[in-house]
Amino acid sequence: MVVYTFAPTTSWPGMTAPNVDNLTPAASVRTRAVALAWTNAIYRAQKEINDAPAAELATHMQPYFSGLSQAELVAAIERYRPFKLWKQNPVVEEGAMSKLQDMLIATGLQKESERVAYADLVETRFAKEAMK
């Protein structure tokens, strides 16, 4: 469960998620500050991935792809960037959560009767705040 990028507002089957609206005032301030700081960091990283020169990204990625040369990594980044495979922002879209639940149901990890409504599952305030 990714608490800070979409902060569930209800329980996912088998998990209990904190609802930031139902915390004590002090805990709420701390939790909101952490959630917003985390989401800001995610958004900065997303912008960097989308905006930085391919060679710069390849340098950062090299330790994780030791079997590829710098030139191969640069070429891969340049080849895939036009397809916008990397997210542009930290907002978790309704379609993505629906597909996730479809996959969980199809694999038997979740029952159809346990499907959670997007509005009860995803908190977009932090992502929208980070993008201001």
Q: What is the tens place of the pLDDT at every residue in 43-90?
A: 999 999 999 999 999 999 999 999 999 999 999 999 999 998 888 899
Stated pTM of the model: 0.64
Which residue type, as a one-letter code, is found at position 7? A
Structure tokens at 44: 């900065």
Q: What are phi and psi of 108, to 5 degrees?
A: 80, 10
Amino acid 13: pLDDT: 47
Amino acid 36: pLDDT: 87
For the chain, domain boundaries: 3-48+85-130
Range 20-43 burial, b when 16+ CB lie within 10 A, else e: beeeeeeeeeebbeebbebbbebb
In the chain, the percentage of residues whose pLDDT exceeds 70 is 78
